[in-house]
């Protein structure tokens, strides 16, 4: 006669355990920051969007026009379905609205549009982290290092948005081609910024995108990553590849 109550108790315990697991997963997903990608309709922006959406982040794709953002968001949602990724949250907005909706913003606009985009959204970024992926390339000689007078794109960004925005420079040396793919990447990312806690948050996003991230020091040090981009472009052309960087000499 005691068997049935014992079985019922066992079932209840298992159900309670599964329910607690579900609550934990839900709570974790709810605490993930909303990421807006400003100027996020190009290869680099959509590549990052794919990586973060697949990792469970809510992504907002920003653009100068709602229409372009919506096309990119629809394509991303369809791709996630094809990859079997469920529960993806992706929205489309103009850049200013995207910055307002974000907990963390990433900017993937061409260098020529960096300052104008920042002027538009800087007040919406107050108190937030801005990941500046901008590289100071000057066409047509993009395979030649041409650093700006201010030192780096990251330093320009920090000067424009002010100290209330924690600017972190990252992802300059990652090939958009690899970001578009679904598998892991044998590539490291230098993460530079004046606030260590902000760099740490960005390193979490680097890892969520399938790469290793490394503290690279202050925002002034981002000049090294900017310069490496032109070197990598030259290597890619010379050897018909999609090269990245790798940090060696670390304990496994």
| Mean pLDDT (whole number) for 137-158 | 96
| Mean pLDDT (whole number) for 145-157 | 97
Domain positions in the chain are 32-239
Helix segments in 32-149, DSSP class H? 43-54, 66-82, 95-101, 114-121
- Listed residue (248, 228, 247, 231) closest to 239, CA to CA: 231
Distance of CA 22 to the CA centre of its chain: 27
- The pLDDT tens digits of the residues spanning 217-227 come to 999 999 999 99
Q: Which residue has the higher pLDDT, 15 or 72?
A: 72
pLDDT-derived band at 165, boundaries 50, 70, 90: very high
- How many CA atoms, within 13 angstroms, populate the side-chain half-sphere of residue 197? 4
Helix axes 114-121, 153-161, angle to 10 degrees: 30
What is residue 36's predicted lDDT score, i.e. its pLDDT?
98
- Listed residue (206, 222, 216) closest to 106, CA to CA: 206
pTM for the model = 0.86
* Helix, strand, or coil (residue 191): strand
**8 pLDDT exceeds 50?**
no
Point out the least confidently predicted range of 8-22, 84-98, 186-200. Answer: 8-22
What is residue 30's predicted lDDT score, i.e. its pLDDT?
59
Tell me if the domain spanning 32-239 has CATH number 3.40.50.720: yes
- The pLDDT tens digits of the residues spanning 171-185 come to 999 999 889 986 778
pLDDT-derived band at 12, boundaries 50, 70, 90: very low
């Amino acid at each position: 006669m005691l068997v049935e109550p014992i079985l019922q108790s066992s079932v209840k315990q298992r159900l309670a355990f599964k329910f607690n697991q579900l609550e934990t997963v839900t709570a974790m997903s709810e605490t993930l920051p909303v990421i807006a990608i400003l100027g996020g309709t190009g290869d680099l922006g959509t590549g990052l969007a794919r990586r973060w959406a697949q990792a469970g982040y809510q992504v907002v794709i920003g653009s100068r026009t709602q229409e372009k953002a919506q096309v990119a968001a629809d394509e991303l949602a369809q791709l996630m379905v094809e990859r079997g990724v469920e529960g993806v949250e992706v929205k489309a907005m103009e850049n200013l609205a995207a910055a307002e909706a974000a907990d963390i913003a990433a900017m993937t606009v061409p260098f020529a549009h960096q300052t104008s985009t920042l002027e538009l959204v800087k007040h919406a970024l107050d108190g937030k982290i801005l990941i500046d992926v901008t590289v100071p390339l000057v066409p047509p000689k993009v395979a030649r290092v041409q650093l700006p007078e201010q030192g780096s794109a990251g330093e320009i960004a920090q000067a424009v948005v002010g100290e209330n925005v924690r600017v972190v420079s990252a992802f300059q040396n990652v090939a958009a081609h690899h970001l578009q793919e679904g598998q892991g990447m044998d590539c490291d990312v230098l993460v530079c910024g004046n606030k260590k806690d902000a760099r740490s948050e960005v390193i979490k996003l680097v890892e969520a995108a399938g790469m290793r991230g490394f503290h690279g020091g202050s925002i002034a040090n981002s000049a090294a990553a900017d310069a490496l981009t032109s070197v990598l472009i030259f290597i890619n052309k010379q050897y018909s590849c999609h090269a990245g960087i790798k940090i060696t000499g670390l304990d496994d």
